Amino acid sequence: MIKNTTPLSMQESLEYIKNPELKAFIKKFTSLNEKKAKELREKLVGLNLIKLNEMHISKLIEMMPEEREELAKILSDSNLDENESNAILSTIKEHQ
């Protein structure tokens, strides 16, 4: 029985994957390791932005946007103001 679902980024899902071939495949598409992805999630959650949910955070960790335009495309359903966008982008830049 499933008790809880939490969106995870590809990097964060690696700890649950046992198949080494699948792990190697996923690592080809990720720029962060598992530990850094968890740290970035904690920092993004710590921003306390109401418009930023768990799914958004997972997408941000996977995509690692560098520009405001990229961020706007990833979070197209959230209307972020300039301060919120800057806070997210600066947090992501710390972890690149």
Residue 30's pLDDT is: 87
Round to whole Å and give the CA distance between 68 and 89. 8
Q: Which residue has the higher pLDDT, 2 or 64?
A: 64
pLDDT at 4 over 90: no
Q: Which residue has the higher pLDDT, 62 or 4?
A: 62
**Dihedrals φ, ψ of 80, to 5°?**
-80, 140
Report residue 86's pLDDT band, with 50, 70 and 90 as the boundaries.
very high
Q: pTM of this prediction?
A: 0.89
Is the CB of residue 61 less than 8 Å from the CB of residue 96? no
pLDDT at 68 over 90: yes
